[in-house]
Chain A
């Protein structure tokens, strides 16, 4: 009786019923993406529960989540997450700043491109992990070398994304800038960067993905805290649940930060007249 009242009240409002189907589809669509992982997780849980597998090397979701809960309760989890996020955040920031600046410069000035780009492309061809021994020698085994490694990983996709996108900006739009006597940084700021913004967001997301990749590499090499340390610790002490817990948290954080970029960029991309815009996210 009591629970019925608000429902009735709600359905009597015409606006509410009109908005209902679109709202349903708005929430239902992301849910669709959760279907497959949920089925797989429940399936494995069932397999272990039925005793078809002991789940020692591949612990069922319940045990993984129990591990996460334990870590969270002891405060360990927050410490590790904060350490990793801090490294990724700093490395990402440095990588993005350098990649954007150099990418814009070599996209805009052909002389700079001829001078700079071959070197950058040659450096890009080096697998970034090859730098690790050198960074450790130069910068020590603590935070600096880790952050630099992450920044290097982030730098290349951002640099390449900005430069490549500037090179294919419509000449006609650039001419509009020229007729208003823009050149140099004014041209970059008022015409080129806005024009490449959609491509820039994509390269930021690629860069962030690499940032997460390199933070694991950096933390596996030597760290006393961080999610990568949890991975290594789990391997050395034979705790697969802890490894999986760290992996799950990596997945969640990676997806979350990627989504943050998408959401933060959305207001700046409302002007787009593009295929993806109509289709909706």
Chain B
């Protein structure tokens, strides 16, 4: 279990990015974090990843405190961040340097096949499309079999078709080993498609505002009325988090825009 206990972050320039954020995330759960810009979503993710230290509060994974990058925690960024001087296969195997070469090659080959890029093993990153590059990034993060995988708006730079494709693909990969997924997004559709639970954050300072359980079986039908309903719930909560509309859950609003900033 991943436990966040009153995690706060104040940057050296005085910006209060995150205030006393607490949450408990079960092993294998998929959690989406959504909120207006500047609500500390990415700050939170970076604290969990151990890339930045929280000013106060603790992040613990299975009762082990996280203060620096941890072997059980992987991260996928908004950009693929592939290393341009390594082939696709070597990029995927980057985190497996400690394994013997044969075992590494085996795992990389399996991961390549799993993300559908077996024929691109020896390609350079510059030869990949945006979607392919993000697949490689996903494979690179998953191949060391992390218990927790963090995703920082991983599909926001992709076109709508590629994004849907990769969302489905991510769920597919998740089902293999069922790591905990924590996904930062500003796309309500994406949150409802993927998550078991949506955490809505509120800005200035960033803090937890609302939690919405998405009790939908998988695979989820993006066009079902139930799906629309959950989307509307999340949108409403988002609006309330910014005090933009009267807090009234039952009010029937329009379907709202799928992309929300």
Please tell me if the beta carbons of B81 and A175 are within 8 angstroms of each other in the complex. Answer: yes
Contacts of B77 in A (CB 8 A): 172, 175
Please tell me if the beta carbons of A180 and B94 are within 8 angstroms of each other in the complex. Answer: yes
Please tell me if the beta carbons of A194 and B81 are within 8 angstroms of each other in the complex. Answer: no
Please tell me if the beta carbons of B124 and A271 are within 8 angstroms of each other in the complex. Answer: yes
Distance in Å from the Cβ of B146 to the closest Cβ of chain A?
Answer: 10
Please tell me if the beta carbons of A194 and B75 are within 8 angstroms of each other in the complex. Answer: no
Q: Is A236 an interface residue (CB 8 A)?
A: no
Q: Which residue of B lies closest to A175 (CB)?
A: B51
Contacts of A194 in B (CB 8 A): 83, 85-86
Q: Is A181 an interface residue (CB 8 A)?
A: yes
Q: Which residue of B lies closest to A181 (CB)?
A: B69
Please tell me if the beta carbons of B126 and A176 are within 8 angstroms of each other in the complex. Answer: no
* A64→B20 CA distance, assembly (Å): 82
Q: Is A272 an interface residue (CB 8 A)?
A: yes
Interface magnitude class on chain A: 10 to 19
Contacts of A181 in B (CB 8 A): 68-71
Q: Which residue of A lies closest to B144 (CB)?
A: A180
Please tell me if the beta carbons of A273 and B83 are within 8 angstroms of each other in the complex. Answer: no
Known A-B contacts A172-B79, A175-B51, A271-B126; the reply to A180 vs B85 at CB < 8 A is no
Distance in Å from the Cβ of B108 to the closest Cβ of chain A?
Answer: 15
Q: Is B154 an interface residue (CB 8 A)?
A: no
Please tell me if the beta carbons of A173 and B126 are within 8 angstroms of each other in the complex. Answer: no
Please tell me if the beta carbons of B81 and A176 are within 8 angstroms of each other in the complex. Answer: yes
Please tell me if the beta carbons of B85 and A273 are within 8 angstroms of each other in the complex. Answer: no
* A60→B84 CA distance, assembly (Å): 51
Interface magnitude class on chain B: 20 to 34
Contacts of B85 in A (CB 8 A): 194-195, 197, 268, 271
Contacts of A268 in B (CB 8 A): 85
Q: Is B35 an interface residue (CB 8 A)?
A: no
Distance in Å from the Cβ of B147 to the closest Cβ of chain A?
Answer: 14
Q: Is A25 an interface residue (CB 8 A)?
A: no
Q: Is A3 an interface residue (CB 8 A)?
A: no
B111-166 interface (Cβ within 8 A of A): 124-126
Please tell me if the beta carbons of A179 and B125 are within 8 angstroms of each other in the complex. Answer: no
Q: Is B183 an interface residue (CB 8 A)?
A: no
Q: List 29 interface pairs A-B (beta carbons < 8 Å), by A numbering.
A: A172-B77, A172-B79, A173-B81, A173-B83, A175-B51, A175-B77, A175-B81, A176-B94, A178-B69, A179-B49, A179-B69, A179-B74, A180-B94, A181-B69, A181-B70, A181-B71, A190-B94, A191-B83, A194-B83, A194-B86, A195-B83, A195-B85, A270-B124, A271-B85, A271-B125, A271-B126, A272-B84, A273-B124, A273-B126
Kindly supply a per-residue 1/0 record for chain B positions 62-83, scoring 1 wherever the CB is within 8 Å of any chain A CB and 0 otherwise. Answer: 0000001111001101010101
6 extra interchain contacts, Cβ-Cβ under 8 A, other than A173-B81, A176-B81, A273-B84? A172-B77, A179-B75, A180-B95, A268-B85, A271-B85, A271-B86
* A178→B50 CA distance, assembly (Å): 9
Please tell me if the beta carbons of A271 and B84 are within 8 angstroms of each other in the complex. Answer: yes
Please tell me if the beta carbons of A179 and B51 are within 8 angstroms of each other in the complex. Answer: yes
Contacts of B124 in A (CB 8 A): 270-271, 273
Q: Which residue of B lies closest to A176 (CB)?
A: B81
Please tell me if the beta carbons of A180 and B69 are within 8 angstroms of each other in the complex. Answer: yes
* A92→B124 CA distance, assembly (Å): 32
Distance in Å from the Cβ of A153 to the closest Cβ of chain B?
Answer: 29
* A181→B83 CA distance, assembly (Å): 16
Distance in Å from the Cβ of A174 to the closest Cβ of chain B?
Answer: 10
Contacts of A178 in B (CB 8 A): 51, 69
Q: Which residue of A lies closest to B127 (CB)?
A: A273
**Leading 7 A-B pairs by shortest Cβ distance:** A273-B126, A194-B85, A271-B85, A180-B95, A271-B124, A179-B69, A176-B81
Contacts of A195 in B (CB 8 A): 83, 85
* A155→B124 CA distance, assembly (Å): 33
Kindly supply a per-residue 1/0 record for chain A positions 152-179, scoring 1 wherever the CB is within 8 Å of any chain B CB and 0 otherwise. Answer: 0000000000000000000011011011
Residue of A172, A173, A179 ringed by the most chain B CB atoms within 10 A: A179
Kindly supply a per-residue 1/0 record for chain B positions 82-117, scoring 1 wherever the CB is within 8 Å of any chain A CB and 0 otherwise. Answer: 011110000000110100000000000000000000
Distance in Å from the Cβ of B127 to the closest Cβ of chain A?
Answer: 9
Q: Which residue of A lies closest to B84 (CB)?
A: A271
* A172→B75 CA distance, assembly (Å): 12
* A102→B28 CA distance, assembly (Å): 46
Distance in Å from the Cβ of B67 to the closest Cβ of chain A?
Answer: 12
* A268→B124 CA distance, assembly (Å): 12
Contacts of B95 in A (CB 8 A): 180
* A248→B51 CA distance, assembly (Å): 56
* A181→B75 CA distance, assembly (Å): 12
Q: Which residue of A lies closest to B137 (CB)?
A: A176
Distance in Å from the Cβ of B139 to the closest Cβ of chain A?
Answer: 14
A172-209 interface (Cβ within 8 A of B): 172-173, 175-176, 178-181, 190-191, 194-195, 197
